A and B are shown apart, each in its own frame.
Chain A
């Protein structure tokens, strides 16, 4: 072991002690940042990532088409569903389940959603005594509003004729007559 060759820089050490103590005393006389939850509650920003909802399109139909992209994107596998065919060829979720006891609120599902159906809300107060209560089914998730992007309806852009007749979207020509001879 090498012996000390330099004397201890005692002046520097005292300065450091005083600075640290100054910070401590400064915070003792400051107003606290914590609130008395649940008596007082903070208002999160609108883009806060908490409880997930399924939204509806402006025409009132379910936006979710059960494409399985959110469940594929989910890093903790907390989303599961099964798709089925509804009236007029509309694809919908026969059942849709999010296990909030497993969810890490990362927002990848909302990012993956091609129809803007799955959205994060600022409602962070999800706490239950029974863990099964945290398994949300479709009826618990589906809301009656559009959430963000209130104008968007996936079927008005996808050209397979579910909401509009085939060839009836603004960017489409009417269906061709295959047997016609006109060029």
Chain B
């Protein structure tokens, strides 16, 4: 453990730590471009210069390339080091196009920050600027090579970290160029991280091009809802429109990155076709009218078909709060069935996975990254959990063999991250016993419940990929309340009404059941067929909790107020409804934004509980859920099992 002194502060760090990291550990920030915690150091930008006052090396050194050693005395504020850093900035700026007003990175740009901090304001270089042609990198990423400062972060992420092979560095010396080798779009499913990782504006988010500045965004810590991995994100909204999703670091889950699906799937929140008003038989109604109609009809349903003819259905994409309250509502209504899964097989597979993890054998994504053997069992990770594929690549990079087992584990997924995988037919062929930190990643879309139960005997940690962001929570609740799947309930023939809360009901069931109520924020088929529709808030429009595939409960915060986006607002919300809608926001005042009268699903369920004579819902998390009461959204989450 080397001991050194940085700016008069004694520091002790593990061997192999660089001076830059050692300084960071005591809160001293040395400016840098090319160093990144996930990618390591290359010493390309020369910005992290410090003065070594005493010790084994002396003089100006690059702190990212220098391992901390005993007896070092480091000054980050020495005039010589300051001069060096300001000169580095000045030469990095010699070719810069000076286009900050039209650059999307402006306001969140590391180069901008350090240029201002380094005091470089007047251009002294009189030569001409080097320029580049840009490439069309597809629908997600905008390319502007003139802004490049040659830090190599993009290529180190794209090729080394994510295993992409279509993008890289070309040219030499002053002409170094980062781009695709051939024309076409970026192929890696993690290409969006170039936006986060580029310290300047070479790669920017094309989907949110020019839409807002960093200081104008509405942002809050959130969790990605697009698969069961629970990656941490920061969605950014402006003018009632979800524009961007930025990765948020969680070392135990996603690390500093997220996948393209999580980053670029923002359109559903802004969809004008979303249910925005309560509907009764297709007609718009107020919340009170709709809830009254709903109560009346549920009472009628029980009168006509007898008690127990209603099925209350939660779902793997409904946040935990709503799913917990549904059990109370079902009990109060005397509903025949409480369901958390529509499909029978899906419910059984999740139940099998949940009971497997109850033994404390859940592997987090960090465990996968550190594994010495990875087995992918009946899963296509590109589809069921792309970030898991990135974790598998990190394990493979440090020497772990990767096995693909079963006919639903295609080799293409390994090729997408340039991992050489071994294909096997059955899991027994994998020599799991010889590895210490083996992890079995098991898909639940195609494998049978029996196959999942078989894993109980395997000597490895398990990472089951589940069918939704809160599938684990739904599975736990189903086990706690002895819930059946909707398919089983319907098979009994008694179900005549369905109360679907953010649930996707199969079409054949919708056709058979005379009465359907849908609470949802997506314009699903269930919403289209339902007699009573209650619009709910999307995950970015309310606080909530998701339980990820490893049983990690993570809180997410409200990012934006719901409402129709200002861009494309229909003419009827403007001052002159008969003219075509102008671009600007309406010149009329409203207390609630158009289409903004949405409520979180759990609020609606709580209201139903109260209306049906239950106690006022004061506290959602009781009993075993008590530990989730004051869950910190930025605290990394809480593992519910083991």
B58 lies within 8 A of chain A by Cβ: no
Q: Which residues of A contact B130 (CB under 8 A)?
A: 173, 176
**With A66-B210, A178-B177: A171-B128 Cβ-Cβ less than 8 Å:** yes
B528 lies within 8 A of chain A by Cβ: no
B273 lies within 8 A of chain A by Cβ: no
User: Could you say which of A85, A162, A178 contacts B171, with CB atoms under 8 Å apart?
Assistant: A178
Docked Cα-Cα span, A149 to B446, in Å, equals 68
- The residue of chain A having its C-beta at the shortest distance from the C-beta of B575 within the complex is A132
Flag if A158 contacts B175 (CB, 8 Å): no
Flag if B211 contacts A83 (CB, 8 Å): yes
A114 lies within 8 A of chain B by Cβ: yes
Identify the interface centre among A132, A157, A162, A178: most chain B CB within 10 Å of its CB. A178
Number of interface residues of A (CB under 8 A): 42
Flag if B171 contacts A159 (CB, 8 Å): no
Flag if B239 contacts A82 (CB, 8 Å): yes
Q: Which of the 9-residue segments A10-18, A53-61, A67-75 touches chain B?
A: A67-75
Docked Cα-Cα span, A74 to B211, in Å, equals 19
Q: Which residues of A contact B107 (CB under 8 A)?
A: 68
- The residue of chain A having its C-beta at the shortest distance from the C-beta of B144 within the complex is A160
User: Could you say which of A115, A138, A158 contacts B97, with CB atoms under 8 Å apart?
Assistant: A158
- The residue of chain A having its C-beta at the shortest distance from the C-beta of B169 within the complex is A178
Q: Which residues of B contact A173 (CB under 8 A)?
A: 128-131
A106 lies within 8 A of chain B by Cβ: no
Flag if A67 contacts B211 (CB, 8 Å): no
A154 to chain B, nearest CB (A): 7
Docked Cα-Cα span, A72 to B215, in Å, equals 8
Flag if A82 contacts B175 (CB, 8 Å): no
- Chain B contact residues: helix, strand, loop or mixed: loop
Docked Cα-Cα span, A72 to B213, in Å, equals 9
Docked Cα-Cα span, A94 to B585, in Å, equals 11
Flag if B175 contacts A67 (CB, 8 Å): no
Chain A proximity mask over B110-148: 1 for CB below 8 Å, otherwise 0: 000000000000000000111111100000000010100
B573 to chain A, nearest CB (A): 15
A174 lies within 8 A of chain B by Cβ: yes
B590 to chain A, nearest CB (A): 14
B489 to chain A, nearest CB (A): 49
Q: Which residues of A contact B622 (CB under 8 A)?
A: none
B106 lies within 8 A of chain A by Cβ: yes
Flag if A172 contacts B128 (CB, 8 Å): yes
- The residue of chain A having its C-beta at the shortest distance from the C-beta of B209 within the complex is A85
- The residue of chain A having its C-beta at the shortest distance from the C-beta of B201 within the complex is A160
Docked Cα-Cα span, A72 to B97, in Å, equals 23
Q: Which residues of B contact A138 (CB under 8 A)?
A: 584
A167 lies within 8 A of chain B by Cβ: yes
**With A67-B106, A82-B567, A159-B129: A176-B213 Cβ-Cβ less than 8 Å:** no
Q: Which residues of A contact B128 (CB under 8 A)?
A: 171-173
B461 to chain A, nearest CB (A): 46
B283 lies within 8 A of chain A by Cβ: no
B587 lies within 8 A of chain A by Cβ: yes
Docked Cα-Cα span, A20 to B98, in Å, equals 61
Identify the interface centre among A67, A69, A137, A180: most chain B CB within 10 Å of its CB. A67
- The residue of chain A having its C-beta at the shortest distance from the C-beta of B178 within the complex is A178
Docked Cα-Cα span, A157 to B209, in Å, equals 21
Flag if B131 contacts A159 (CB, 8 Å): yes
Those of B215-244 within 8 Å (CB) of chain A: 215-216, 239
B149 to chain A, nearest CB (A): 14
Docked Cα-Cα span, A176 to B212, in Å, equals 32
Docked Cα-Cα span, A65 to B211, in Å, equals 12
**With A83-B210, A183-B173: A137-B584 Cβ-Cβ less than 8 Å:** yes
User: Could you say which of A69, A95, A161 contacts B584, with CB atoms under 8 Å apart?
Assistant: A95
Known: A71-B216, A176-B132, A176-B175. 9 other contacts (CB 8 A): A65-B101, A67-B101, A83-B210, A135-B587, A158-B102, A159-B146, A162-B102, A178-B179, A179-B170
Q: Return the 6 tightest CB-CB contacts between A and B, nearest first.
A: A159-B97, A95-B584, A158-B99, A167-B131, A67-B101, A83-B210
Binding site for B on A (CB under 8 A): 65-69, 71-72, 80, 82-85, 91, 94-95, 97, 114-115, 132, 135, 137-138, 154, 157-162, 166-167, 169, 171-176, 178-180, 183
Q: List 19 A-B contacts (CB under 8 A).
A: A67-B100, A67-B106, A67-B213, A68-B107, A71-B216, A80-B585, A82-B583, A91-B101, A94-B567, A132-B587, A137-B582, A158-B97, A158-B99, A159-B97, A167-B131, A173-B129, A176-B130, A176-B131, A178-B171
